[in-house]
Structure 1
């Protein structure tokens, strides 16, 4: 019994007690880093192949996250290079802000796809009457996010084109706060490190609160889209619909909503982790980084690697708005 106690005591004494309280897992970090690198390559391919330059934030964010996780095993927890630690921490903790920005930018484009009246401010020069946008015009608008910024949609209680601007700027502000926090931590001075910790918590909390509000906005839109789909598509063949929505519409709406839920899971984890400080339980066990940070974000990004939203958007535009027609479903004979 005494031998067992001696072994446990020796193990405790040999455990890292500095800023990093465990030996980073090579297998776990390289796996996550490799997955992010794969998603980065795929999404870069989609962006340049389809000229979706509005979406560049997603592959860039994935690339930065890949670098952060691949660098982690190089950190010696018994002799931590503070600069290396801060660099990898910033890549792992801060770069996912790009994933939030991507979803913010996608929101307005989703509304453009599902709301036939959105864009109706397009005025025909001869008739001087509002004309609905054609599929080609909607695709052009999707690429460039053009049109009046204040135009409203019945699916959104905030003008859709303003949503991207407002929330991306909130993302930028919280990003800057977290960068400044990382700079204070890098000084190594105990009083500044403590201030940096609190700033990190503030930045992550504001970012999480902002995204939760965005998800409430998305929930409102999702409910209205499903309700209208069920009403307008009543009588169409059920195999062509999911929850009353055409399949590409359902995939787009469900993908954005599911991605948002996993981002919120990760945000809650980070808020709790930073509130506990560097002596907290979560920051002292790497498994939680993989399960509650990496895994949810990989799902949130992987959704778009599997079904690139621009493809879904163009499919909806072409089927719904070519010749100003509705999605050409076949009515059931019953």
Structure 2
């Protein structure tokens, strides 16, 4: 007698209502703060952070879905909602984080120290992020499809893994670019006036990048084990290695908000005025021109 095919199981546990409600509240608070800091603050606006804001909204929607699933784990709509939004939110965070480094390079007039030219930096990394987002979205859609077919679910799992690996590779290379940029330009950076407080933003970039990398590695292990694996089957790991890490990443960006970079860029000319910052700008332009001429 042939074995009956195993049915797709949405949850291997009863989703926790208190945990989901806690993170809906936390993500809602940090997202609202980011919306104000990025779009409505009088002295600083940063529209390049819109993907980050959407990522925060995805987190809120995702954990609302888990609240609904706590009432009935077998209902499909909340399961689909929470699977896709929680899975995809970090890719949206990454898109804005990639843009931060390009603005720091512009602020410090230090493109010659970057491994990737500033004009290509955002295109390359955001391009990789889009590929990762699409792959994870397609894979997540297959896992949450109405067919409840284990073969389709397994294919979706593999596509999600591909998207996560793309994210890890691009993020790892991005961190390398940022570290080398800081190391190669250390003599130049010592000349930059203290008013241009760019270093704190670079360190926040490191922190958020590492948090997203850890989360992505967790997701790779989780989906490698499969939907019947130990990590996927125990809810606590989602809250430790995804929800908590992503909340910390958002909170750190609240404390040292990248919108300050936009303000600093606007104030850069005032600091220059023929002084030290203007001299560094002129020197950087000459060096970059010579660099391009040799290329």
Fold similarity call, TM over 0.5 = yes
For this structure pair, what is the TM-score category when the shorter chain's length is used for normalisation?
0.7 to 0.9
C-alpha deviation, 1:58, in angstroms: 1.0
Once the two structures are superposed, residues 105-163 of structure 1 have per-residue CA deviations (whole angstroms, 9 ceiling, x without a partner) of 11100101122xx5xxxxxxxxxxxxxxxxxxxxxxxxxxxxxxxxxx22211111211
Q: Which residue of 1 aligns with 2:293?
A: none
- Structure 1 residue 322 corresponds to structure 2 residue 272: yes
Give the total of aligned pairs: 265
Once the two structures are superposed, residues 249-287 of structure 1 have per-residue CA deviations (whole angstroms, 9 ceiling, x without a partner) of 221111111111111111111111111101111111111
Identify if the C-alpha distance between structure 1 residues 318 and 324 changes in structure 2 by more than 3 Å, giving closer, same or farther. Answer: farther
C-alpha deviation, 1:77, in angstroms: 8.9
Q: Which structure: greater helix fraction?
A: 2
Q: Which residue of 2 aligns with 1:267?
A: 216
| TM-score normalised over the length of structure 1 | 0.73
Identify if the C-alpha distance between structure 1 residues 229 and 183 changes in structure 2 by more than 3 Å, giving closer, same or farther. Answer: closer
**Contact 2:28–2:57 (Cα < 8 Å) also in 1:** yes
Whole-Å separation in 1 of the counterparts to 2:21 and 2:244: 14
Q: Which residue of 2 aligns with 1:223?
A: 183
Counterpart of 1:159 (choices 89, 112, 117) is 117
CA RMSD of aligned residues (A): 2.4
Once the two structures are superposed, residues 66-122 of structure 1 have per-residue CA deviations (whole angstroms, 9 ceiling, x without a partner) of 11012202215975223431221100111221100011111100101122xx5xxxx
- Give 5+ residue unaligned stretches, structure 1: 1-16, 119-152, 241-245, 328-334
Counterpart of 2:21 (choices 30, 35, 40) is 30
Whole-Å separation in 2 of the counterparts to 1:280 and 1:222: 41
Q: Which of the two has higher C-alpha Rg? A: 1
Q: Which residue of 2 aligns with 1:212?
A: 172
- Give 5+ residue unaligned stretches, structure 2: 1-7, 278-295
Whole-Å separation in 2 of the counterparts to 1:173 and 1:262: 20
Q: Which residue of 1 aligns with 2:56?
A: 62
The 5 Å alignment of 1:167-182 reads: 167-182=125-140
Consecutive aligned runs of 4 or more in structure 1 exceeding 4 Å deviation: 76-79
**Contact 2:38–2:259 (Cα < 8 Å) also in 1:** no
Once the two structures are superposed, residues 208-261 of structure 1 have per-residue CA deviations (whole angstroms, 9 ceiling, x without a partner) of 11111111111111223445434x37xx9xxx6xxxxx6722211111111111
| TM-score normalised over the length of structure 2 | 0.82
SS of the residue aligned with 1:95?
helix
Greater relative CO, 1 or 2 (CA 8 Å, sep 6+) = 2
C-alpha deviation, 1:314, in angstroms: 2.6
